[in-house]
Amino acid sequence: MATTTFTETMVTSSSRAVPWWRSPGFVRPVVLLVIAVAVLVAGRIFSAGLPSWGAAEAIVTQSLFVAVLAFGQGLVMLIGGLDLSIPGVIALSATTVALWTSAFKGDALTGVLIALACSALVGLIDGFLIARFQIPAFIVTLAMGGVLTGLTIGVTFGRTAPPSPAAIVLLFSGSGKLFGVGIPVVVFILVGIIGYFIQSRSTWGRRVYLFGSSPAASRLSGVPVRRVEISVYVVGALASGIAGIMLLGFSGNAQLSLGDEWMMPAIAAVLVGGTVIGSGYGFWQSTLMSCVLLTTITVVIQATGFSQGWKNVLYGVVVLLALLLMRRGTGRSPMRLLQNRIRRTAGGN
């Protein structure tokens, strides 16, 4: 049973049977991008200032933070987990860099490396607990998030947020320009390319897909499953750590609440991008474009001028609609998914 699902998934995700320009890995991100542009143009109804290059640049800048988080979250969700430690890791990594450069007068690069090492360690502990003791990922990561926030408060003594080094501000605040556009826009493109190669073109990426679609099958084919599972949490936490450093540059100082607002958009982006939790089915390029779409939607909703409550309602409704549409697009009804899941669970892992 498990093998059947696995084969099905491999066929759709590697999509050898159809030409590349008709494969879901190409069609979906293009559709998402077209919708995003259409939404931005439709923003004209609410504000004469839309659409504009300035707006597009602001959208891509904010999409960058969501995208980096969604990359990590997407991998974790591919293998059936959920990472709720994102705000904690963001606070930890931003505070580490800021404290290192302000209180200890260290250089920014070393600070970044220390922060990334700490983030990776967090992912390692998460992954170990989840893989070794089979504790549900969302519980482990939720607890870890609490521990990290507590630690960060302890280290900073609840004092004022330490400031970001100037170089990181220049990179991510949008004030620095490269090729005539904000540096975050360039970074967004780089993140897109790097993410694609890691998730879809590397051996490690293929192993993650394989593990996500069927842990049993991947064990049979000689993949070191536990190591793969742990490594996904390490990469996920690293992504959060990188996002933390970017947000540090964006905000200019390492507040404890820096990451609070970014976890849910990242989860939404993964789902709207069409990744099916725990199925080994999903495309980084769709996730990337759904980050752009969701950010565009928030900008246009902002432009409606509705009161905050109605904006929240509208955003929720739009995300739900998007999710439903994506489900139809994959040809997988929620019912069929449920059946597949049950079958796989029955097959054991």
Partner 1 sequence: MRSRTGRGLALLAAAGALVLALAGCSGSGGGGTGGDASGCVPSGGHAPRAGGDKYIVYMNALNIGNAWQEEAANLGVSVASMEPYSKCVEVRKELTDGDAQAQISQVQSMVAAGADAIVMYALSPTALNAAFRDACQQGVTVISYDATVTEPCVYNVSYLTSIPQGSTHPFMGYNSMTALAKLIGGKGGISYAHGVVGTSTDNIHYNSAMAALKNYPDIKVLTEYEGKWSSSVQQAESAKVLASFPNITGMWCAYGESGCIKSLKAAGKEIPVTGETSNYFREQLLAGWPGASIGSPPAQGGIGMKVALAVLLEGAKGIPLDIEVPYKIVTAENVKVCDKDTYTDGCNVFPPGKVGDEETADIFNEMLPESSLSASQTGKPAAGMTATPYTADYLSKYEQDPSRRYVTREACPDGWKKATLPEGVEGCAKG
Cβ nearer to partner 1, comparing 170 with 337: 170
Cβ nearer to partner 1, comparing 54 with 334: 54
| DSSP assignment letter at 47 | -
- When asked if residue 152 is in the footprint of partner 1 (CB under 8 A), the reply is yes
**Does residue 208 contact residue 75 with C-beta atoms inside 8 Å?**
yes
- When asked if residue 171 is in the footprint of partner 1 (CB under 8 A), the reply is no
- When asked if residue 304 is in the footprint of partner 1 (CB under 8 A), the reply is yes
Question: Phi first, then psi: what are they for 181, rounded to 5°?
Answer: -120, 165
- When asked if residue 46 is in the footprint of partner 1 (CB under 8 A), the reply is yes
In the region spanning residues 69 to 128, those forming contacts with partner 1, defined by CB under 8 A, are none
CA angle 189, 168, 101 (to 5 degrees): 150
Q: How far apart are the first and last CA of the chain?
A: 12
* Distances, alpha carbon 166 to alpha carbons 101, 175, 179, 251, 272, in Å: 10, 11, 20, 11, 35
**Does residue 32 contact residue 292 with C-beta atoms inside 8 Å?**
yes
Least gap, CB of 219 to partner 1 (angstroms): 43
Cis bond upstream, residue 165 (ω within 30): no
- When asked if residue 252 is in the footprint of partner 1 (CB under 8 A), the reply is yes
Least gap, CB of 94 to partner 1 (angstroms): 10
* Distances, alpha carbon 339 to alpha carbons 2, 319, 332, 335, 348, in Å: 12, 24, 11, 6, 14
- CA neighbor of 206 nearest in space, from 79, 325, 291: 79
Least gap, CB of 259 to partner 1 (angstroms): 9
- When asked if residue 293 is in the footprint of partner 1 (CB under 8 A), the reply is no
- When asked if residue 162 is in the footprint of partner 1 (CB under 8 A), the reply is yes
Cβ nearer to partner 1, comparing 46 with 204: 46
Choose one: 2-10, 23-31, 227-235, 292-300; the region binding partner 1 (CB under 8 A).
292-300
Interface residues with partner 1 (CB under 8 A) are 43, 46-50, 52, 54-55, 58-59, 61-62, 152-153, 156, 158-163, 173-175, 182, 247, 250-253, 255-258, 260-261, 298-300, 302-305, 307-309, 311
